[in-house]
Structures are given as C-alpha cells and as structure tokens.
Amino acid sequence: MRIAITGGTGTLGGHTAAELRARGHEVRVLSRRAPEYPVDLETGDGLAAALEGCDVVVDASNDSSKRAGRVLVDGSRRLLAAEETAGVGHHVCVSIVGCDRVPMAYFRVKTEQERVVENGPVPWSIVRATQFHEYVAATLTAAGRRGVLPVPRARLQTVAATEAARAVADVAEGPARRGRVAVAGPEIADARDLARTWRSATGRRAPLLPLPLPGRLGRALRAGVLTAERPDVRGTVPFAAWLTATR
C-alpha cells in the first residue's frame, strides 16, 4: 500500500515509517520539514499533493504548545478533508491512553482530536498508546541536568516506541475499525520508581524531589488513568531493560 505518515519525522512517526517500509509498503513522510512532502496542518499547505494516490494516512503529528488546538484539532479537519478528496480509505489517528480522563489542556485537545476523527468523512481507527520509554527518559535527563528530579506520584505504564509503532503498523495494514486499540507497556509503575530505575541505570546522583499535584489532576494520575490493565496490545520490553539496551 501507499501510506502517508503525518508527523513522520517524530519519535513514533519515524519508527512507524521504518516498520511499514520493512513490510514492503511505500511510505510518504509528511511534516513541515520533510524534504519530499512538506505539509503544514495549520494551513493545509502541501496536503493535496502529498496525499495523492495514498491508501492510508497515519496521523502521528503532535504539538504540546499553545498551538496544539490549531495543529491537532483544526489540522485534523484539514487533513481529513484532503483525504476525502484524495480518496484515502483509512485514517489512523495516534492518541493517548486515558486522554479523556486527564484534566489538562493538552489532553483535552487530544480528546477533541479524537472526536473530529470519529465524526469525519474518512473511515478511521484510533490507536491509543501509553507514554513512551523515550519520553520518560528524555524528561528525566533534562531534569537531571539541573541537579534534581522533581517527580509527582503517578501510575504509568510506559512502552517502547518501537513496539507502539508495530501496533500502529498492524492497524494501518488492516481495515478501518471505527474503534480504538489500546497499546501499553508490560508493567505499571509509579513515576518515582521509574526515576529511581533511570538514576540507577545512568549513574546519576540527582536526588528525587517529591512534586505534589493537588486537585483533580493529582487524583487522576495517582489513580492510574494513563494506564491500561487489559490493553489490546501489551509491550514486552520493561523500562529498565530498554534503558540497558539503549545505553
């Protein structure tokens, strides 16, 4: 198949592109900085040419800035309209496990993006993933440079991006489900335990600083809304093993 991946230069998008190419598909990588298929979801520039002749679109675009709504929600509307015109038969939206249960602006944007996809003109599937090992490691690395690790109490179920990408590729190869597929890591752990694991694996001495999260957000994260006890796809590589392998 000919498959376009918006956000194809990002962590998940890049792994998904590699996975689909390895399976023999023709992959078009779409992003604002893509050399061959530059597109802008905020304006719609480049979408018509990039989607011509495509069978499937995987939307792995992301934006956590103040522009998130314009990129992910309004951008999804533009993307779906362009897909309808191009005759795309399957739209795969990458989202987040529990996004509809976290009272934060970014997660509300992701929830609204899902609604746009559900009500859009193109047959769809939504792949919800838990946080990636890569994201947690990068966050702790950035904090460690400042000499301290501020970590809230939160139950997480991190997964390797390569394993999430395989699940996204599986969905992209199949028919539109008009439903959700949950992808999660092999184990549920407190964020502070993940920080201790990272510190042990990297040899960093930065002390953990408990970060209180009051109100609804703190209760939601402590309750584990970002986890899935019975995911449709469960990863096999724990955070500690991933850290060892990547180092």
Band (pLDDT 50/70/90 cuts) for residue 247 is confident
pLDDT digits (tens, 9 = 90+) for 68-78: 999 999 999 99
d(CA 91, CA 128): 14
> Could you give the percent of the chain with pLDDT greater than 90?
97
SS3 92: strand
DSSP codes joined into one string, 34-73: -SSEE--TTT-TTHHHHHTT-SEEEE-----STTHIIIII
d(CA 82, CA 49): 10
- Minimum mean pLDDT range among 82-91, 118-127, 140-149, 223-232: 140-149
DSSP type of residue 87:
T
| Angle, CA 158 vertex, CA 205 and CA 199 arms, to 5° | 5
Band (pLDDT 50/70/90 cuts) for residue 235 is very high
Question: Amino acid letter at 108?
Answer: R
Contacts of 219 (CB under 8 A, 6+ apart): none
State pTM to two decimals: 0.96
Of 235, 68, 238, residue with least CA distance to 162: 235
pLDDT digits (tens, 9 = 90+) for 148-196: 999 999 999 999 999 999 999 999 999 999 999 999 999 999 999 999 9
